[in-house]
Structure formats: structure tokens, C-alpha cells
Amino acid sequence: MFKKITLIFFIFLLLGTMLLYPQLCIEAASSGLLLWFNKVLPSLLPFIILVNLLMGSDVLGKLQFTMNKWTQRLWHLPGGSLLAFILGLIAGYPMGAKVTKELYQQNYLSLSEAQKVLCFANNCGPLFIVGTVGTLLLQNTHLGYFLLFIHFLSAFLISICLRRFPARASSFKRNHHDTQSSSSFSNLFNEAVKNGMDTIVYVGAYIIFFSVLVSLFITVLPAFISPYHLQLSSSQLLFLSGLLELSNGVSGLCQSALPPATSLPLIAFILGFGGICILFQTSYILEKVPFSLVPYFFYKLAQGFISFLLTKCLYPLWQWQVEKTPFYLPVYWLGALLLFIIFLAGNTQRLVSKPILFATKNIHLKH
């Protein structure tokens, strides 16, 4: 009862605020619509259609079998987990959640496995981080690649943390002769396009609504807290708005007067966390499956903090390397080196124990 009363109060409060600032709401909705139409629609819709085609084809079973050996060693998960992780990184929010849902519905992942994969597979895409944030907003493509590396590394670290929590393995096998796989390509393509349009329209509605919410938040909050002798700086307001809607917050921080050493960790946090708008988009994607968003929310929050700390630590090193050394070391080489170190750290026990066991057996045989 209390939740319903709170929800009704919030709705009426929001309606009243929108009536007080009609021009602001119209401009914010127009801005959100243009953001969706110019940036999200062309970059996300092709990926959604291709992912839908992939999920409806027989190729998925072969990929699952091929990658299973690696993912069992890395995450103690089936091969589909790597597919969800890769496609989530390539396509961006909320495609990682969509792929995970499809893998669960097609019995490639159990419920506990899919819940675990969801926590690290739903991430921001390189088109937004490198193209929009790095090239267009920061006017530095190398910084875009640096943020992409931080984002990828933080997601990978979350997956390594989840490795310690074993998921209940699938007790069923995929039936490869289902009706979806036997459909003609034209039917499969039509269904993929239809599903893609449904998804992208809902994503656009969330972006437009949260654009209005962010504009009202930035306008009303300072006036609301000023009688209590509280004051928020513009950068704090931009960061808080980014926690609500990713694109507006990141865009504002990129165009602010903050030095990169201050703004980049905040941007990395928002990219890692995703924002409440992405959380609602993910909730829509997962509405027909029994997934819990509580662990997903906390692990995305943890990914945001990890991204913040990694940027704080690695940006001075990256800046020194760019400014002080006569050569430019691409950031992906740094990423490959760090991932190799992580791999060694995660497999030290196995790598060391095998020679010891072999030597012990030889000693026993000699005696």
C-alpha cells in the first residue's frame, strides 16, 4: 500500500512539474527524440536484426559447442556466455540482456547461468564510446579507445568475480529441430525485423521520457535544496543526471569545463553503470523471463566503481605515455597485457599445481 501511495504521489508531482515547465519538457522531449533518431536508431537497429537472425539460426548450437571448452575454464559457464559477452560489447545496451534472454529461452543457459551472464554481458558499445564520446564530444578518438578499454576491462573483472559463485548447470539439452530453426530465411528475416522495430521503439520511448526527467531534475533540484543552504555544482548535477540517463550525463560532462583527470573517471562510472534508463530498458527486454534485476543492478554499480578507479589509476599513465614518450603505444596493447596478467593470476594455481603433481608422481614411482 505504501509503495502504491508513493508511486501515485510521484506521478502527480511529475505531472505538476511538467505543467509548470511546459517549454522545458517539450524541448527535452525533442532533444531525446533527435538523440534516438540520429544516434540510437541507426547504430542499434542493424545489430538487433542481425542478433535476431543469429538467434534463430542453427549456427548458435555450433558456436555454443565450439566455445564451451574456453568458457568452462574461464567462467564455469556454457559457451553461450561468451557469445552474449561479445555481442553485448559490440552492439551495446541493452543487447547483452537480449542475447542472454534468447539463450535462456532456447535452453542454451539455465536460469542461474543466465542470471550470472546478465551481470557482465550487458555493456555499452564501441560505436557510442569511441564514435560519440571520444570523437564527437571529447574530440579525441584515442580517449574514446581508452574509455572503451576501461569499460571492457571492468566488465571482464566483474565476470572474473562472478566466477567464484558457481551457477547451477543446465540439466537439459537443446532440441535442434524446433520450428524456429526450420523456418525459411524470409520468415526468419521478417520476424527479426519486426522484433527489432518493437525493441528499438520501446528503447526510444524510454530515452525521450528520461530526457524530460533529466531536464526537470537539473532545473528543479537546485531550487528545491537552496532553502536548506545546500548547493550542487554543475558537474555534480551532470553526474547525477548521468545516473538517470547515460547519454545526457556523458554529453554534459564531456562539454563541461572540468579537466580530463576529473571528468573521465565520472564518465567511465556512468558508462559502466549504465543509468536508470538502461535499467528500465533491460527490465523491458527481460519482462517475459524470471530474471531478477537486483543482482544485475548491484553488479553494474560495482562495474561503475571499478571503471572509476581504473580510470583514476590508468589515465595518468596513459597521459604520460602519450605526452612524454616519442612513440604512441595503442591502448589495446595495454589492454592485452593487463588481460594476460589477469589470466595468469586466475590460472596460477592450475599452472603451478600440474608440474608439482607430475614431480610428486615421479618421486613415488622411483621409490
100-139 pLDDT, tens per residue?
Answer: 998 898 888 889 899 999 999 999 988 889 888 888 888 8
* Residue 364: band (very low, low, confident or very high) from pLDDT cuts 50, 70, 90: very low
The answer as to whether 290 is a domain residue is yes
Judgement on whether residues 343 and 200 belong to the same structural domain of the protein: no
CB burial class (10 A; 0-12, 13-18, 19+) of residue 89? Answer: buried
- 275's CB contacts (< 8 A; 6+ apart) are 210, 242, 243, 244, 245, 246, 249
Instruction: Give the pLDDT confidence score for residue 321 in this predicted structure.
Output: 72
- Identify whether residues 306 and 189 lie together within a single domain: yes
Same domain? 361 vs 324: no
Domain check: are 133 and 250 in the same one? yes
Quick check: 147 pLDDT over 50? yes
Q: Does residue 172 sit within a domain?
A: no
Domain count, the chain: 2
Does 96 map to a domain?
yes
7, part of any domain? no
Residue 307 in domain: yes
333 has a pLDDT exceeding 90: no
Summarize pLDDT for 167-213 with one digit per residue, the tens. Answer: 666 554 554 444 444 567 788 888 889 988 998 899 899 999 999 99
Q: Looking at the structure, do residues 48 and 111 belong to the same domain, yes or no?
A: yes
Q: Verify that 293 and 361 share a domain, yes or no.
A: no
Same domain, residue pair 242 and 344:
no
pLDDT of 348 over the 70 cut: no
Residue 39, in any domain of the structure: yes
In a domain, 203, yes or no: yes
Cβ atoms of 87 and 155 closer than 8 Å: no
Given a cut of 60, whether residue 152 has pLDDT beyond it is yes
What pTM was estimated for this model as a whole?
0.82
Q: At CB < 8 A and 24+ separation, what contacts does 304-307 make?
A: 304/154, 304/268, 304/269, 304/270, 304/272, 304/273, 305/269, 305/272, 306/154, 306/157, 306/158, 306/272, 307/150, 307/151, 307/154, 307/265, 307/268, 307/269, 307/271, 307/272
C-alpha to C-alpha distance for 148 and 134, rounded to whole angstroms: 9
Could you read off the pLDDT of 254-298 as tens digits, one per residue? 888 888 888 999 999 999 999 999 999 999 999 888 898 999 999
Domain match, 343 and 324 both: no
Range of the domain at 19: 12-165+182-329
Give the type of residue at 100.
T
Percent of all residues in the chain with a pLDDT value above 70, rounded to a whole number: 82
Please indicate, yes or no, whether residues 76 and 198 belong to a single structural domain of this protein: yes
Does a structural domain hold residue 315? Answer: yes
* Mean pLDDT value of segment 327-347: 55
Whether residue 308 is predicted with pLDDT greater than 70 in this model: the reply is: yes
If asked whether residues 286 and 341 sit together in one domain, one would say: no
Please indicate, yes or no, whether residues 276 and 252 belong to a single structural domain of this protein: yes
Computed over every residue of the chain, the mean pLDDT equals 81
Query: Does one domain contain both 186 and 139?
Result: yes
Rounded Cα distance between 238 and 270, Å, is 11
